[in-house]
């Protein structure tokens, strides 16, 4: 019995370390963290930018989109799912954040459905009148190569070289008036980072 428990713990440790392996790749120290407004208290700005794998996502019509296509921008990847009630509440605020930044070439806001059954996504969007909500799909769970996708909604932030620099795990009011100025500070700090920073 003890041997089986030890083996189970070893397997669990291996699976956890396999998921988190990319987070061990420290690229550069991010410096003094930005002062967060109250609405952003759930945001964690990492003290070390972490190199992560270049994941592939898909458009609703099956076109491949790579994270590396957004070099030179602050990239927010917002995870959501059709079965997630807080996501339903958060989607309109993500849409508003995208609209507020649509003319800024230094930021990309990506919504990524983690639904295993991707066929549910178009009907979900139609049912809730989210025609203006653009989303990508992750049918092979590639986001798990960066961070565990065990909490949705969640938003991961990447610098201009594709390094992970921060995250929010859980619901947030992205349309709060204090968020946009903070996002602009993040853009200034991270959008122009390159791999040599």
Under 8 Å between Cβ of 51 and 25: yes
Strand 136-137 to 107-113 pairing: parallel
Q: How many helices (H) and strands (E) does the chain have?
A: 4, 9
Closest CA to 145 of 67, 16, 70, 53: 53
The pLDDT of residue 77 is: 97
Q: In the numeric block, which tokens belong to residue 153?
A: 């909604």
In this predicted model, what pLDDT tens digit does every residue of 11-33 receive, in sequence order? 333 333 334 445 678 999 999 99
Query: How confident is the model over 39-63, as a mean pLDDT?
Result: 95
Res. 156: pLDDT tops 80:
yes
The DSSP secondary-structure symbol of 76 reads E
Would the pLDDT of 5 be above 50?
A: no
Residue tagged 């795990």 (tokens): 169
Average pLDDT over residues 36-49: 95
pLDDT in tens, 122-142: 999 999 999 889 999 999 999
What share of the chain in percent tops pLDDT 70?
87
């Amino acid at each position: 019995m003890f041997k089986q428990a030890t083996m189970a713990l070893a397997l669990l440790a291996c699976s956890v370390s396999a998921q988190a392996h990319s987070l061990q790749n420290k690229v550069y120290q991010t410096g003094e963290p930005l002062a967060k407004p109250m609405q952003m208290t759930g945001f964690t700005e990492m003290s070390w930018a972490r190199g992560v794998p270049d994941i592939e996502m898909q458009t609703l019509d099956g076109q491949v989109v790579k994270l590396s296509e957004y070099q030179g921008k602050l990239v927010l990847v917002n995870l959501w799912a059709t079965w997630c009630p807080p996501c339903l509440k958060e989607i309109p605020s993500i849409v508003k954040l995208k609209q507020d930044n649509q003319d800024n070439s230094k930021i990309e806001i990506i919504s990524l459905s983690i639904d295993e059954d991707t066929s549910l996504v178009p009907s979900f969007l139609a049912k809730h009148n989210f025609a203006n909500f653009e989303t990508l799909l992750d049918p092979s769970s590639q986001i798990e190569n960066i961070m565990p996708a065990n909490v949705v909604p969640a938003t991961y932030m990447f610098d201009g070289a594709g390094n992970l620099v921060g995250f929010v795990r859980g619901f947030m009011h992205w349309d709060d008036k204090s968020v946009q100025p903070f996002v602009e500070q993040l853009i200034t700090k991270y959008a122009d980072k390159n791999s040599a920073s």
